Amino acid sequence: MEAKVVLDFSSVVWNENHFQDDAALHYKLASEVVMFIQAFESCNNLKFIARTELLKNVMGLFPYNITNRPDLSDFKRRAQHFLSNRFSDFVSYDKDDDSTINSIPNIYYNYFSDALKVEISYLLAEIHNSANNYIFCTFSTRWQNNDNLKTTNHSTKEHDTIVHKKGKYTIYDFYLNKFRNIFEHNPKHDKLKGKRIENGAWVYPLTCFDGEDTFFPQNLLDSAIQYGDDLYNFDDVNQTFVCFKNHLDNKFHGYDEDIKNVPHKIREEFHK
């Protein structure tokens, strides 16, 4: 199951005067953003929605001067890498000129450039008018209550909101609870049954599963790459590709796959 996430972009677009007034708050924000990025990188099926124009505006307003300080170098490195090198994890959307949509609380900041404000308005229109449900990710230094983000014009829509704070619930916890693909073994692929023909077709075992401990197949599933409706990974221990198939909701079973049946694109990903 794939989920789409909206980032509170004020977390990476700062105002220098605000920083001078309360540097401690921004140092705390920086640590929360690093924690968020680390958590997100563990979420295999999460995507962010953002237009390329929005990301370019954010990168143009990134607080380069402030973050040249040695004690903010980790935040700078991780945030820039996340925004500039992970565009494949961002899903775009059509531009919607509906300027009547507001957010509660307001996620516009006066110090945002006019171009960024326009892009945020497109973002709000997307999450308000779309039939999809989005998760809003923000931070304790930016969010002063525990309420969910709401978008409103003639109607109000509430969005799941995760407020990142040290030692508290993160996007990864949310992902584990709601969106993680879960390994569920199919006895047809028992390791002890081996490779065999059933009803005229080859059936392959799942060598990495001992019949009890799901740790290894779940790890493979967590980092598997999608191709069509299936997910693939390479089991380095048993030197075989593993194909995972969805059989119910977010439940997947798996089996060793003969390399000749693995899509060429997947083989290239694993250099096989």
* Contact present, 162 and 136 (Cβ < 8 Å): yes
Query: Of all helices (H) and strands (E), which one includes residue 202?
Result: strand 201-203
Q: Could you give the count of Cα atoms lying within 13 Å of 91 in the half-sphere of its Cβ? A: 14
Looking at the chain, the whole-number percentage of residues with pLDDT higher than 70 is: 97
* Contact present, 10 and 107 (Cβ < 8 Å): yes
> Other CB atoms closer than 10 Å to residue 202's CB: what's the count?
10
Closest CA to 89 of 121, 131, 45: 45
- CB environment 234-255: b (16+ within 10 A), e (fewer): bbeeeebbbbbeeeeeeebbbb
Biggest CA-to-CA distance, the chain: 74
* Contact present, 102 and 153 (Cβ < 8 Å): yes
pLDDT tens, residue by residue, 100-124: 899 999 998 999 999 999 999 999 9
Closest CA to 105 of 218, 8, 222, 214: 8
Give the amino acid at 240: T
Give the amino acid at 33: V
**Mean pLDDT (whole number) for 46-53:** 89
Query: In the structure, what pLDDT confidence band is assigned to residue 177 with cuts at 50, 70 and 90?
Result: confident
Closest CA to 251 of 171, 201, 188, 185: 185
Tell me the two tokens of residue 40.
């997100």
* Mean pLDDT value across the chain: 92
pLDDT higher than 80, residue 245: yes
pLDDT higher than 60, residue 231: yes
CA distance 150 to 104: 5
Beta pairing, strands 240-248 & 230-235: antiparallel
Q: What is the DSSP letter of 147?
A: P
3-state secondary structure at position 268 = helix
Give 237 or 180, the one with higher predicted confidence.
Answer: 237
pTM of the model: 0.73
